[in-house]
Amino acid sequence: MEEKDFQPYIPAGRVLPELTGVSVALGIVLAVVFGGANAYLGLRVGMTVSASVPAAVISMGVVRKLLRRDSILENNMVQTIGSAGESVAAGAIFTLPALFMWAREGRGEEPGLFTVGLIALCGGVLGVLLMIPLRRALIVKEHASLPYPEGRACAQVLLAGEKGGRGSGAVFAGLGGAAGYKLLADGLGLFPSRLLWQIPGYRGAGFGLETLPALAGVGYICGARVSSYLFAGGVLGWLVILPLMALFGGEMVLFPAGVSVNALLAAEGPSGLWSHFLRYVGAGAVACGGAISLVKSLPLIIRTFRAAVKEYGHGGGGAQPRTGRDLPLGAVLGGALAAVLVLWLAPAVPLGLPAVLLAAVLGFFFAAVSARMVGLIGSSNNPVSGMAIATLLLSSLVLKGAGVEGMAGMTAAIAIGGVICVVASIAGDTSQDLKTGFLVGATPWKQQVGELIGAAAAAAAMGAILYLLSAAWGYGSQELPAPQATLMKLVVEGVMEGNLPWNLVIAGVFLALTAEILGVPVLPFAIGLYLPIYLSAPIMLGGAARWAVEKSRAPSAEIREKRVQSGVLCASGLIAGEGLVGIALAVLAVIPAGGGTAADVLRLDGISLGAPGSLAAFALVLGGLYLLARRGGKSP
| 266-304 residue pLDDT tens | 888 898 888 788 878 887 887 787 677 667 766 766 765
pLDDT(246) > 70:
yes
Note the pLDDT of residue 214: 84
Question: Any bridge partners for residue 195, and if so which?
Answer: 209
Domain annotation covers residue 145 = yes
CA of residue 189 relative to chain centroid, distance: 28
Residue 327: inside a domain, yes or no?
yes
In whole angstroms, what separates CA 627 from the centre of its chain? Answer: 27
In angstroms, the CA 34 to CA 55 distance is 8
Write the DSSP symbol of residue 207.
E
Q: How confident is the model at residue 318 (pLDDT cuts 50, 70, 90)?
A: very low
Q: What is the pLDDT of residues 450-474, one digit of tens each?
A: 999 999 999 999 888 898 888 888 8
pLDDT at 483 exceeding the cut of 50: yes
Helix (H) or strand (E) segment spanning residue 419? helix 406-440
Residue 355 forms part of a structural domain? yes
Residue 135: give the domain boundaries: 3-163+298-313+320-388+413-479
- The average pLDDT across 49-57 equals 72
Is the pLDDT score of 442 beyond 60? yes
Q: Is residue 170 part of a domain?
A: no
What is the C-alpha R_g of the chain? 24
Q: What is the average pLDDT across 184-201?
A: 89
The model's confidence at residue 314, banded by pLDDT at 50, 70 and 90, is low
Let me know if residue 372 belongs to a domain. Answer: yes
pTM of the model: 0.76
Domain membership flag for residue 61: yes
Query: Which amino acid does the sequence have at 4?
Result: K
If you average pLDDT over every residue of the chain, what do you get? 84
pLDDT tens readout for residues 349-383: 988 888 999 999 888 888 877 787 677 656 655 66
Taken in order 125, 153, 386, 303, the sign of the CA dihedral is: negative
In a domain, 490, yes or no: no
pLDDT at 394: 83
Q: List, in sequence order, every residue forming a beta bridge with 210; answer none if it has no partner.
A: 194
Is residue 145 scored above 60 in pLDDT? yes
Give residue 12's Cα distance to chain centre.
34
pLDDT at 3: 46
Instruction: Note the pLDDT tens digit of each residue in 568-583.
Output: 888 878 877 887 788 7
**How many domains, in total, are found in the chain?**
1
Give the confidence band of 635 by pLDDT, cuts at 50, 70, 90: very low
Q: Which residues contact 24 (CB under 8 A, 6 or more apart)?
A: 77, 81, 450, 453
Question: What is the spatial distance between Cα 348 and Cα 411, in angstroms, rounded to a whole number?
Answer: 12
pLDDT at residue 315, as a whole number: 45
- Going through 143-215 in order, the beta strands assigned E by DSSP cover 194-198, 206-210
Helix, strand or coil for residue 253?
strand
pLDDT band, very low/low/confident/very high, at 49 (cuts 50, 70, 90): low
Q: Which of 279, 486, 513 is closest to 392 using CA atoms?
A: 486
The answer to whether 119 and 94 have CB atoms below 8 angstroms apart is: no
- In a domain, residue 10? The reply is yes
For helices 168-182 and 52-59, what crossing angle results, to 10°? 110
More confident of the two residues 161 and 562: 562
End-to-end CA distance of the chain: 33
